[in-house]
Amino acid sequence: MKPCPHVWKDASPLLMKRNESITTGVHVMNAKMNTKRLSMLSLAVIGALYGASPALAASILGSELASFAVLGAETVTNTGATTLTGNLGVSPGSAITGFFGTVENDGPGVVIGTVHQTDAFASLAQSQLGGAGGALTTLGLLGPGTTLGVDLAGLTLAPGVYTVLAGTSNLTGTLTLDGGGAADAAWVFQMPSTLITSPGSVVNLINPGANAGVYWNVGSSATLDTTTSFTGNILALTDITLNTGATIGCGSALASTGAVTLDTNTISTGCNGGILPPAPVPVPAALWLLGSGLLGLVGVARRKKA
């Protein structure tokens, strides 16, 4: 039985139209998929370049470094009845004098923690302090923040990054750090040169939250004068000295290349948490060009759809 020619002839336009519809549908689907991919790529690239991370620094000190109340590079020397709550260590130097529990074991200082004298643990902590990607570098990358005067006495500061210039004394009275109850409140003090306090000065931390952090990033040496009541982790490039009766109630004394010298002091680890808010990042011209290019690609995909 032969097919009827006019039936196939009449059906041809319908089949062609159907094929065109299928082809058009495929193009539309491809265009939609391309547009979706481009949109996702735009968000990813812009987010990465604009710095959309919700936290700039969740942890500045490594776990080993955070365990030290005192860490020296050359030596640690103590005179008087010093008490450390936290680890005591030195690396790459080897001498620790004036503490029980050390190789010298000469007292009268007491360590409520572990002594790491030129061992692998102290070496790792030193790398977390001053090595590539260490805490000193990480703190420096946070930028200058807000520049303050030489003397911090009388100020009440919210969490943030602050630069304090060198002077005869950076603290002649009381500095108050108010965390406002934020769990991850953090303060970073960029000290391009020295950190020096006057006798009897105070750093008072209030409303800190459970995971607060206070960091003093010192470009050379740090000296806490007699009976200073201090708060925070001192990360010094060279030497750290605590004169008679100075205390660090929540923090540490960490020297990257120099010595730590103590005299009848009390230091307890802590205040080494905190999440800092992201610093505003300016949008570069290249980002606008990239965005324009992506929008152009989206436009081409939409024209294909039409």
pLDDT at 131: 83
Sign of CA dihedral 143, 148, 149, 154: negative
Residue 222 lies in a domain: yes
Calculate mean pLDDT across residues 246-271.
98
Residues 81 and 130 in one domain: yes
Structure tokens at 128: 């977390």
Least confident of 11-15, 199-203, 237-241, 257-261: 11-15
- Domain with 83, as residue range(s), is 63-268
- Contact (CB, 8 A) for 214 and 232: yes
Residues 162 and 44 in one domain: no
Task: Tell me how many degrees the CA angle 214-215-221 measures, rounded to the nearest 5.
Answer: 140
Residues 119 and 37 in one domain: no
Residues 92 and 233 in one domain: yes
Q: Is the pLDDT of residue 36 over 90?
A: no
Q: Is the pLDDT of residue 209 over 70?
A: yes
pLDDT in tens, 51-69: 333 343 445 899 999 999 9
Q: Is the pLDDT of residue 100 over 50?
A: yes
Residues 33 and 179 in one domain: no
Calculate mean pLDDT across residues 211-225.
97
Residues 150 and 213 in one domain: yes
DSSP string computed for the chain: ----HHHHHHHHHHHHHHHHHHHHHHHHHHHHHHHHHHHHHHHHHHHHHHT--S-SBS-SS-HHHHTEEEEESSEEEEESS-EEESEEEE-S--EEESBTTSSS---SBEEES-EEESSHHHHHHHHHHHSTT-HHHHHHHT---EEE-S--TT-EE-SEEEEE---S-SBSSEEEEE-TT-TT-EEEEEESS-EEB-TT-EEEEES--TT-EEEEEESS-EEE-TT-EEEEEEEESS-EEE-TT-EEEEEEEEESSS-EEEES-EEE---B---BPPPP-PPPHHHHHHHHHHHHHHHHHHHHH-
pLDDT-derived band at 162, boundaries 50, 70, 90: very high
pTM of the prediction? 0.73
pLDDT at 13: 45
b/e 16-27 (16+ beta carbons within 10 angstroms → b): eeeeeeeeeeee
Calculate mean pLDDT across residues 82-103.
97
Residues 29 and 165 in one domain: no
Residues 50 and 68 in one domain: no
The per-residue pLDDT of the chain, averaged, comes to 80
Residue 4 lies in a domain: no
Q: Is the pLDDT of residue 258 over 70?
A: yes
pLDDT at 306: 54
Q: Is the pLDDT of residue 119 over 80?
A: yes
More confident site: 275 or 279: 275
Q: Which residues, including other chains, have CB under 8 Å from residue 143's CB and lie 6 or more apart? A: 161, 279
Q: Is the pLDDT of residue 226 over 70?
A: yes
Structure tokens at 224: 């806490």
| Cβ count near 288 (within 10 Å) | 10
State how many domains the chain has.
2
